Amino acid sequence: MRSVIAAPFIPISFQTHSHRAAQGVIYADILKQSGHCDDIDINMSRSNVQGENAIDENKYQDFNEYDRLYIYHGNDRPAHSKDLNFFGGVKLFPHAYNIRNISKFKGEVYSVPYDMPDYASLLNNKLTKFKEKYPDFTNKTVRDFYDTDLENLKKIQERSITINPVGPWDKLVAGDSHAICMYRPGWNVNSVPFKTLHGALEQGLETFITDPNVKHVEFYFGNIDIRHHVCRLENTREVIDELVNRYIDQVSKMSYTSKAIYELLPIENESRTLPKSGFYDGKPFWGSWQERTDARKYFNEQIKLKTKNTDIEFKEWITPEFYNEKGEMDFKVMEKPKSVHISREYYPYWQGLEYNGIKKTTLEDFFS
Query: Which domains does the chain possess?
Result: 3-162 (3.40.50), 171-355 (3.40.50.1110)
State the pLDDT at residue 276.
Answer: 77
CA dist 211 to 118, 240, 321, Å?
A: 30, 30, 36
Q: What is the DSSP string of 254-283?
A: ---SEEEEEPPPPPBPTT----GGG-BTTB
Q: 3-state DSSP call for residue 182?
A: helix
CA-wise closest residue to 256 among 222, 221, 220, 218:
218
Give the C-alpha separation, 10 to 15, whole Å. Answer: 13
CA 361, 367, 368: angle at the middle one, nearest 5?
A: 85
State the pLDDT at residue 273.
Answer: 79
- Name every residue whose Cβ is closer than 8 Å to that of residue 210 and which is 6 or more positions away in sequence: 190
State the pLDDT at residue 77.
Answer: 78
State the pLDDT at residue 54.
Answer: 38
CA dist 316 to 14, 194, 300, Å?
A: 29, 23, 9
CA dist 362 to 12, 152, 255, 313, 365, Å?
A: 28, 47, 38, 29, 5
State the pLDDT at residue 357.
Answer: 81
State the pLDDT at residue 360.
Answer: 61
Task: Identify any residues that bridge with 195 across adjacent strands, giving them in sequence order.
Answer: none
State the pLDDT at residue 57.
Answer: 53
Enclosing H/E stretch for 201: helix 197-203
| Strand 188-191 versus strand 108-112 pairing type | unpaired
pLDDT by residue for the chain (368 residues), tens only, comes to 899 999 999 899 888 888 999 999 999 999 999 999 999 999 988 654 433 343 445 544 789 999 999 999 988 777 778 888 888 899 998 888 999 999 999 999 999 999 999 999 999 999 999 999 999 999 988 999 999 999 999 999 999 999 999 999 999 999 999 999 999 999 999 999 899 999 999 999 999 999 999 999 999 999 999 999 999 988 999 999 999 999 999 999 999 999 999 999 999 999 887 877 778 888 889 999 999 999 999 999 999 999 999 999 999 999 999 999 999 999 999 988 778 899 999 999 999 998 888 776 444 554 44
| DSSP-based helix, strand, coil % in the chain, nearest 5 | 40, 15, 45
